[in-house]
Chain A
């Protein structure tokens, strides 16, 4: 019933492109230095939106809409949001379209990008017009008009943010993504879910046991996790759409499930054969085959986006290090050579990098390394333990858990380690964030 309503309301959001954007322009515009787009943030101005009619309700909605859009775009780390106090324009005289804007007002305060907006409310329906401009070129980059219910505002903001990032970076971002994570706020470790920005927190499991290691399938429909709810730890696979749950039935320990991209298959460490090895299972928990074969611990698998390679942790060299196995050839190569305790590999959605954690000098820190094993780069420093890195679906951000403020909580940073901030605030401690793919609603 709820899902139906969501689908209907999503359908109600009609998108009309106000001005056709010449797509060839996208390739020409080099807004970001792709070697590190966060090194120089682009100054952006988002003045308070305007009411399009004389309906007094529109004024409040316009402020909330502009604030929500600014907050959401700011989350990406690409922009430097300019203080509205510094703006030079007269909101009463300025329009929101290209013809009615004086771009010099905006270049003068340092804004290179400008987003204007207008909202219109009739009864319970909300219409929003949003435009992104290049102030120096006095050009419209992308304009959209959305129509929906008032409660669809957040969906409209998300959709426009995706359009903005697509136009500026060539990627749609992460605005339709979710987090699954572990929290012990209820007194037990349970799985929770929230939006990419930490909002809209929902409790997924209520086992009153130890439940951990959430893992999203690449279409966002299935969530796997482990729980002690039936005695020894077992992997559970839940269909989030139907609520149907399967569990993996093999003796021994079951650890850290990880889905194969674009397949209804997942890998996990099992010990039913006497030694801890990584196995490939069907999405219903049935055995397909064994993936590793070495005495000692093999754990923490993470798949390349094409599903052809899997990164994992093995103690085969005497200490935990990260290896990559090519599935077709069976060839295994060691990835990490620096440090004595490297675990928790997480393959980036772009395929070229692997995030992981390394323990040294009494703390755990997040690193990234390219898949050839070159240039390990440390992203967190001197802030106690930083664990369980997970990539945003566009590969621009990394979330992780950290004890930097005492209790373990979830933080987000750019893939270059900048803009580290706490994702959410809730009782208890939080662990194991897992970033979902974009799940269109």
Chain B
């Protein structure tokens, strides 16, 4: 009951206030043509120049933002997209080669950057063998990048064998994600 009473009171006060404000705005619009013609072009010029400058800066900012976003996206893609392998294999599949070509382009565009390629295996198979297999995967990826023109001194490799799975599941979907070369920017 009391709530309704408050609501009614609020409506009673707010509605007239809204009406008043609308009428005020109308008045302001109406008053514009009343400005002097001499003043108007000068004012207009300044406003245009300012606006142009603002627009240019805004465009620049947007472009910088866009570039930064693209750079971040490229960086994210570089570090987040893993190169995948088949079971007990360090051979680079066509999809892996496409991805590595993109990664090569990224590293070459960033002259100062240094990269560590981690080789990983799924949990199947035995530890020592997988430590060796992980290294072969990382080395295969490194060799591909060097063939694409990347400076060898920019790339390090490390094998984690089956020690650091990306997916801790015990099924083919998880294993497929874990047989990978992972890229880290140093």
Contacts of A253 in B (CB 8 A): 131-132, 135, 159
Known A210-B163, A253-B132, A255-B132; contact A432-B127, beta-carbon cutoff 8 A = yes
Known contacts A297-B136, A343-B125, A344-B126; is-contact A255 B88 (Cβ 8 Å) = no
Pairwise interchain contact A313-B135, C-beta atoms closer than 8 A: no
- The residue on A at minimum CB distance from B128 is A256
- Chain B contacts of A364 at CB under 8 A? 126
Contact A276 B128 (CB under 8 A): no
Pairwise interchain contact A255-B131, C-beta atoms closer than 8 A: yes
Cα distance A363–B31 in the bound complex, in angstroms: 87
A214 shortest CB reach to chain B, Å: 12
User: Are the CB atoms of A319 and B88 closer together than 8 Å?
Assistant: yes
Question: Residues 127-170 of chain B: 1 if any A CB is under 8 Å from the residue's CB, otherwise 0?
Answer: 11101110110000000000000000000001110010000000
> Are B88 and A276 in contact, with the CB atoms below 8 A?
no
Give the shortest distance, in Å, between A292 (CB) and chain B (any CB): 12
Contact A276 B136 (CB under 8 A): yes
Contact A213 B128 (CB under 8 A): yes
CB-based nearest A residue for B163: A210
What total of A-B pairs shows CB separation below 8 Å?
66
Chain B residue contacts of A269, Cβ below 8 A: 128, 132
For residue B124, CB closer than 8 A to chain A, the reply is yes
Residues of B with C-beta under 8 A to A255: 128, 131-132
Q: Of residues 112 to 132 in B, which have CB atoms within 8 Å of A's CB atoms?
A: 124-129, 131-132
- Asked if A233 CB lies within 8 Å of chain B CBs, one says yes
Q: Contacts A212-B127, A343-B125, A387-B126 given; indicate if A299 touches B132 (C-beta within 8 A).
A: yes
Q: Which of A315-361 contact B (CB under 8 A)?
A: 319-320, 341, 343-344, 357, 359
The answer for the CA separation of A232 and B117 in the assembled complex, in Å, is 12
The answer on a CB contact under 8 Å between B127 and A213 is yes
Does A300 lie at the interface of the complex (its beta carbon under 8 Å from any beta carbon of B)? Answer: yes
- Bound complex: CA A235 to CA B109 (Å): 37
Q: How many residues of B contact A (CB 8 A)?
A: 16
Given A210, A252, A300, A432, which contacts B129 in the complex, CB threshold below 8 Å? A300
Chain B residues with Cβ under 8 A from A252's Cβ?
Answer: 135
Docked complex Cα distance between A320 and B89 (Å): 11
A341 contacts B159, CB within 8 Å? no
Verify if A271 is at the interface (C-beta below 8 Å from B): yes
A435 within 8 A of B: no
Instruction: Give Cα distance in the complex from A313 to B130, angstroms.
Output: 12
Output the nearest chain B residue to A300 by Cβ-Cβ distance.
B128
CB of A146 within 8 Å of the partner chain = no
A222 at the interface (CB under 8 A from B): no
User: Within the complex, what minimum Cβ distance (angstroms) separates B47 from chain A?
Assistant: 61
In the complex, what's the smallest C-beta–C-beta distance from A251 to chain B, in angstroms? Answer: 10
A379 CB → nearest B CB, Å: 16
Taken residue by residue from 406 to 432, chain A's Cβ proximity to chain B (1 for < 8 Å, 0 otherwise) reads as 000000000000000000000000011
B contact residues around A343 at 8 Å (CB): 125-126, 128-129
Residues of chain A contacted by B131 (CB below 8 angstroms): 233, 253, 255-256, 299
Centre residue among B125, B132, B159 by max chain A CB count within 10 A: B132
Partner of A359, one of B124, B132, B158, B163: B124
CB distance from A201 to the nearest CB of B (A): 22
The closest CB in chain B to the CB of A268 belongs to: B128
Task: Please determine whether A297 and B133 come into contact, CB atoms closer than 8 angstroms.
Answer: yes
CB atoms of B159 and A233 under 8 A apart = yes
Complex: chain B residue closest to A341, CB-CB:
B125
Which of A228, A319, A362 has the most B CB atoms < 10 Å from its CB? A228
What is the CA–CA distance of A273 and B126 in the complex, to the nearest angstrom? 23
Q: Is the CB of A271 within 8 A of B135?
A: yes
Across the interface, do A299 and B88 meet the contact criterion of CB distance under 8 Å?
no
Q: Which residue of B lies closest to A362 (CB)?
A: B124
Question: How close is B154's CB to chain A, nearest CB, in angstroms?
Answer: 17
A432 contacts across to B, CB distance below 8 A? 127
A213 contacts across to B, CB distance below 8 A? 127-128
Judge whether A320 and B129 touch: CB under 8 Å: yes
Q: Complex Cα distance A357/B158, Å?
A: 26
Question: For residue A359, which residues in chain B have a CB less than 8 angstroms away from its CB?
Answer: 124-126
Q: Shortest beta-carbon distance, B157 to chain A, in Å?
A: 8
Q: Which residues of chain B are near A300, meaning CB under 8 Å?
A: 126, 128-129
25 pairs of residues in contact across A and B, judged by CB atoms under 8 Å: A189-B163, A210-B160, A213-B128, A228-B160, A233-B131, A233-B159, A253-B159, A255-B128, A255-B131, A256-B128, A269-B128, A271-B132, A271-B135, A276-B136, A297-B129, A297-B132, A300-B126, A300-B129, A313-B128, A343-B125, A343-B126, A343-B129, A344-B126, A362-B124, A387-B126
Q: Which residues of B contact A (CB under 8 A)?
A: 88, 124-129, 131-133, 135-136, 158-160, 163
Tell me the A residues contacting B by CB distance below 8 Å: 189, 210, 212-213, 228, 231-233, 252-253, 255-256, 269, 271, 276, 297, 299-300, 313, 319-320, 341, 343-344, 357, 359, 362, 364, 387-388, 431-432
Given A253-B159, A343-B126, A364-B126, 6 more pairs with CB closer than 8 A: A210-B163, A255-B131, A256-B128, A269-B132, A299-B128, A299-B131
